[in-house]
């Protein structure tokens, strides 16, 4: 169940619509996403490919995969060839689709509440999300947004219990690239998709 919560949180970490505030964005996409999931997973027997299609159509158009990919590369971005970057970004994209789809197969109708926080005058914002568990304590998360040059808001990170998912994954990827190289890590991400 914790994995579902973390991945659901990651799902919301990549949405963007130019005219929406971060709160409006996460509310709109979340409502649409969970409506689709409830429709195809009524009996808890939805197929992985069906969920992947929902992820591709509802989520991926709003994920800043390039930004997340470059953050994941960390220090390894220096000297990166364009072809290597494109291949890594595509691998991250495929990995995210598979990860989100697998987690969404476990969604059982938990209530998800969105809380609007004050929006400052800069290009960063946070939206609090509370997942109401049917049994157990509620789970609080904070989604970190940044505003792109075109005015759209995109989530770049999710913090749960004080732990940044982007930072945690970045440490893992950077260490792995140092050990086996970018080409191997790219292939590993593709294999996990």
From the centroid of its chain, how far is CA 170? 14
Domain of 80: which CATH number?
Answer: 3.10.450.710
Judge residue 187's burial from the number of C-beta atoms within 10 Å of its C-beta, 0-12 exposed, 13-18 middle, 19 or more buried: middle
- Beta strands at 111-115 and 163-164: parallel, antiparallel or unpaired: unpaired
pLDDT tens-digit readout, 155-167: 777 787 788 878 8
Contact (Cβ atoms closer than 8 angstroms) between residue 174 and residue 74 = yes
pLDDT tens-digit readout, 82-140: 999 999 999 999 988 888 788 777 777 788 888 887 877 788 888 888 878 888 888 78
pLDDT tens-digit readout, 22-59: 888 888 888 898 889 888 887 777 888 999 999 898 87
The residue segments making up the domain with residue 187 are: 2-192
Q: Quick check: pTM over 0.75?
A: yes
Number of domains making up the chain: 1
């Amino acid at each position: 169940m914790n994995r579902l919560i973390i991945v659901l949180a990651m799902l919301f970490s990549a949405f963007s619509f130019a005219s929406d505030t971060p709160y409006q964005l996460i509310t709109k996409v979340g409502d649409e996403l969970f409506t689709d999931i409830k429709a195809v997973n009524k009996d808890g027997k939805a197929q992985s490919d069906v969920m992947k299609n929902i992820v591709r159509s509802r989520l991926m158009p709003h994920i800043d995969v390039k930004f997340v990919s470059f953050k994941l590369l960390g220090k390894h971005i220096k000297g990166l060839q364009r072809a290597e970057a494109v291949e890594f970004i595509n691998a991250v994209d495929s990995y995210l689709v598979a990860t989100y789809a697998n987690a969404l197969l476990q969604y059982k109708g938990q209530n998800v509440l969105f809380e609007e926080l004050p929006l400052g005058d800069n290009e960063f914002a946070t939206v609090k999300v509370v997942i109401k568990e049917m049994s157990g304590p509620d789970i609080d998360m904070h989604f970190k947004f940044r505003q792109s040059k075109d005015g759209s808001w995109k989530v770049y990170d999710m913090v749960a219990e004080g732990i940044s998912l982007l930072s945690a994954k970045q440490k893992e990827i950077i260490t792995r690239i140092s050990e086996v190289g970018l080409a191997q890590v790219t292939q590993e991400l593709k294999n996990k998709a």
